Amino acid sequence: MTHEKRYHQCTICEACCGLEFEVEDERVVSIRGDAEDVFSHGFICPKGAALAELHEDPDRLRQPLLRRGGELVPASWDEAFEAIDAALRPLVAEQGADAVGVYLGNPAAHSTSLVTYVQALLTGFRTRNRFSASTVDQIPKQLATGLMFGTALSVPIPDIDRSRFLLMLGANPMASNGSLFTVPDFRGRARRLRERGGRLVVVDPRRSETAKIADEHVPIRPGTDALLLAGMLHTLFDEGLADLGGVAEHSQGLAALENAMRAFAPETVAARCGVEAGTIRRLARELAAADGGCVYGRIGTTTTEFGTTASWLVDALNAVAGQLDRPGGAMFPKAAAFAANTRGRPGAGGGLRVHRHTSRVRGAPEVLGEFPCACLAEEIETPGEGQIRALITIAGNPAVSTPNTGRLSRALEGLDFMLSLDFYLNETTRHADVILPAPSPLEHSHFDVIFPQLSVRNWVRYSPPVFGRAPGQPEEWETLLRLLGVLLGQGPKPDIEALEEMVIGLQVNAATKAEGSPLSGRDPAELRADLEPRRGPERLVDLALRSGPYGDHFGARPEGLSLARLEAEPHGIDLGALESRIPEVLRTPSGKVELAPELLMADLSRLAAELERPAPALSLVGRRHVRSNNSWMHNLPMLAKGPLRCTLQIHPDDAAARDLRDGAEARVSARAGEVRAVVEVTRDIAPGVVSLPHGWGHDEPGTRLAIAAEKPGTNSNRLADEQVLDPLSGTAALNGIPVEVAPA
Ligand SMILES: Nc1nc2c(c(=O)[nH]1)N[C@H]1C(S)=C(S)[C@@H](COP(=O)(O)OP(=O)(O)OC[C@H]3O[C@@H](n4cnc5c(=O)[nH]c(N)nc54)[C@H](O)[C@@H]3O)O[C@H]1N2
Ligand SMILES: Nc1nc2c(c(=O)[nH]1)N[C@H]1C(S)=C(S)[C@@H](COP(=O)(O)OP(=O)(O)OC[C@H]3O[C@@H](n4cnc5c(=O)[nH]c(N)nc54)[C@H](O)[C@@H]3O)O[C@H]1N2
Ligand code: SF4
Ligand SMILES: [Mo]
């Protein structure tokens, strides 16, 4: 019997915990937080502990499925790719690349294979019809920070470990473990913040788990955070508290911002927000006075009609209160690899260009190369040139996650062909003609590309696979390259090695030619020889690390980082506390922090008009639970046990007015659709607001999710309106949906 410990990063959520696996005879016997991990120090949540169940889940697909005579049946990889080639090659040849839509889901950001090679797929195959979970999530923040700081991932993070005041809006890290804020053990860090005399304030229509451990909970009317933030900014200017500190000389637009905020006095916005003007003024003063303080906004602020504006005002507030880029405030991480804000010439750059073209049917503008996923159904349904006739979903479940899923599910049925890269037969993939499974999260190596760019400390870590792959199971980057070959007309068995060589070749050449690159002028052939014998993501990671800000620069800085160095450190390498980075971090064309970007300023009249709009009698918001992850971990016994979590939370007064009792079934209706949900009467939710989590509704026919189907819950996105978006970013307003609730 063999018995050993193996270390691997958890890739379920953004906290990036290092885990310790005890393995006996190639089976997991225990999973713990890795106490020696330099970043997460032993923290783990129930989802990390459930990774063995995910690995062993009998419903997890281990073989491609292919539709034959209406049924999805097991097939070989070659048969699956023959079917894909037969469907896609003529379609692309006749109707062009836009006839094939691509939807990218959230786990793509957590998989090294997918993050590094989806880009290759989408540069090689240029369809305009690109969609992703980003437009039901964080794109407003990326757009705002891109315009302010120059790249779409230059997001300032709360420096919580040194902070003395943290104001959180629309985020519940006690359940979510943080987002655009990689912060393993939020609870411990929040406790230490309070122990050092700091204050935690939570703005949320719900008394969330985070509100419960905070010093103060401020209930707010859904969708009005941008107004509240504008009221705080107004206060700073009005009371002479505006002071940018060291950032002043590196910023522009302050006067324009001050002028624009005049319309949003706390006394003007208070009634619409449902927050007293005195509270808004006090919070602004507290932020400005804090010896290290920060405002942070997340899902409850981004997935609203004013998502981009709210995201902008969060960082404008941090700047104007003198809390941007200082210890304890909002700071920029410096990742070891792949960060656009560590590439090119420090201090200025091309900035973010958006709204370069518009979607065919609705004319929604492109942002970061994609269209709103709220437009997906109409792009499939509406005939004409550029109509989507085939769809590829990669690690996504849009039939549950995106607005008006009733309409989208019908649209998916009307496709000529659908391919899904996924390891579950679920609400989305049941519509597919071919499903290609990914390896389990324990069967591939991991190097985190995205989240070190959003972390409370600088760190780096590489995890080899815990287990070898099942025979015949390709790595997911190989599947992507094979698909690229098919889309390029190379047939069902393209030369994957040649495609891989092409990808690394382009990267090496770019690194030797780019302005400001430490490899500038080096010989590409020499670098490529130095990367041997690595292939795939490992080769790209090694290149990125070695050419990155801590890298060995291929021998020029021998003490620097390389993948080989990381392989010797299973618990990761700590790269230190966050450091001030302005102006070096900036990539705006002006070389300044843009406090008042034109695109955002132009939208303020819409925000002012919002002051006049009556609030709905009842509005729906979402929530998360620590034992659930979006739509796809409900099939694991450890997480599924316990009470039903997909309940409609409602305040006792609202329940009484509608004759609804705790545990009864309610009918919830909105413009987009209607659902039934079990009522949970609770004072934890503000009057006038109801809450239903997303990611449920596992009772659709044709899925294979035995455990999830036992407690299916309700698909809340049947209620979300695909017509109601934040117009700047295309992000759907998933919070603040007007609904009516009645006994079923
Ligand atoms: N109403 C409402 N709706 C929401 C939200 C909300 O707060 N409220 N939140 C939104 C947010 S923030 C997000 S991120 C989206 C998520 O939206 P999606 O990304 O569309 O949905 P997920 O539930 O994350 O589904 C992920 C899929 O990827 C598969 N998968 C997991 N790992 C892998 C892998 O390694 N490879 C492959 N190929 N597949 C894999 C899973 O089986 C699952 O089918 O939902 C959004 N929808
Ligand atoms: N356990 C678990 N962890 C997760 C996930 C998961 O599904 N489960 N999903 C992961 C993903 S993909 C993401 S993006 C992150 C999201 O992480 P978070 O942003 O922390 O998301 P939530 O936990 O949904 O918290 C959002 C909060 O916003 C509140 N809210 C709703 N509307 C409004 C509003 O208009 N204004 C204000 N101020 N508040 C509002 C809700 O009541 C809720 O408490 O979590 C990640 N981590
Ligand atoms: S908080 Fe939980 S799900 Fe998130 S990375 Fe850590 S163990 Fe995984
Ligand atoms: Mo997300």
Q: How many CB atoms lie within 10 A of CB 470?
A: 12
User: Which ligand neighbours the alpha carbon of 731 most closely?
Assistant: 1
Q: What is the mean pLDDT of residues 244-257?
A: 98
Predicted confidence (pLDDT) at residue 1 exceeds the cutoff of 80: no
CA of 446 to the centre of ligand 4 (A): 19
Q: Are residues 656 and 604 in the same domain?
A: no
pLDDT at 437: 98
- Residues lining ligand 2, Cβ inside 6 A: 13-14, 106, 137, 169-173, 175-177, 179, 203-206, 208, 220, 222-223, 225, 298-301, 304, 621-626, 628-630, 735-736
Same-domain pairing of 552 and 586: no
Q: What is the pLDDT of residues 435-445, one digit of tens each?
A: 999 999 999 99
- Surrounding ion ligand 4 within 5 Å at CB are 137
Q: Does pLDDT of 229 surpass 80? A: yes
The 10s digit of each residue's pLDDT in 175-192 is 999 999 999 999 999 999
308 and 210 share a domain? yes
Residue 712 has pLDDT above 90, yes or no: yes
In angstroms, what is the span from residue 453 Cα to ligand 3's centroid? 17
Q: Determine the Cα angle at 337 with ends 336 and 340, to 5°.
A: 115
Q: What's the pLDDT tens digit per position in 288-317?
A: 999 999 999 999 999 999 999 999 999 999
Confidence of residue 694 (pLDDT cuts 50, 70, 90): very high
Q: Is the CB of 492 under 6 A from ligand 1?
A: no
Residue 621 has a pLDDT of 98
Read off the tokens for 20: 């310790």
Categorize the per-residue pLDDT at 547 as very low, low, confident or very high, splitting at 50, 70 and 90.
very high
> What does R_g of the chain's alpha carbons equal in angstroms?
25
For residue 14, what is the domain's CATH number?
3.30.200.210
Q: Of 23, 24, 22, 13, whose CA–CA distance to 46 is shortest?
A: 13
Domain count, the chain: 4
Q: Residue range 369-385: average pLDDT?
A: 97
For residues 318 and 180, membership in a common domain is answered with yes
Orientation of helix 307-320 relative to helix 139-149, angle to 10°: 40
DSSP 440: P
Query: CATH number of the domain that 244 lies in?
Result: 3.40.228.10
In the Cβ-directed half-sphere of 593, how many Cα atoms lie within 13 Å?
29
The residue-averaged pLDDT of 36-47 equals: 98
- Asked whether residue 591 falls in the same domain as residue 641, the answer is no
Check residue 65 and give its pLDDT: 98
The 10s digit of each residue's pLDDT in 635-675 is 999 999 999 999 999 999 999 999 999 999 999 999 999 99
Amino acid at 278: G
- Give the model's pLDDT for residue 516: 86
CATH code of the domain containing 722: 2.40.40.20
127 assigned to some structural domain: no
Q: Where residue 742 falls among pLDDT bands split at 50, 70, 90? A: very high
Asked if residue 673 has its Cβ within 6 Å of ligand 1, the reply is no
In degrees, to the nearest 5, what angle opens at C-alpha 370 toward C-alphas 176 and 540?
A: 75
Q: So what's the pLDDT on residue 501?
A: 98
Express as a percent the part of the chain with pLDDT over 90: 99
The interaxial angle of helices 536-546 and 496-513, nearest 10 deg, is 10
- Is-above-0.95 flag for pTM? yes
Confidence of residue 515 (pLDDT cuts 50, 70, 90): confident
Tell me the average pLDDT of the chain: 97
Tell me if 541 is assigned to some domain.
Answer: yes
pLDDT of the residue at 43: 98
Coil vs helix vs strand at 365? strand
3-state SS assignment for residue 100:
strand
- For residue 694, the ligand closest to its alpha carbon is 1
The pLDDT of 497-520, averaged and rounded, is 95
Closest by CA position to 234, among listed 551, 547, 607: 607
Structure tokens at 593: 């922090």
Atom of ligand 1 nearest to the CA of 423: 42
User: Which domain, by its residues, includes 286?
Assistant: 159-338+581-608
Is residue 693, in this structure, part of any structural domain at all?
yes
In a domain, 692, yes or no: yes
CA distance linking residue 104 with residue 433, whole number of Å: 17
Is 321 in the same domain as 200?
Answer: yes
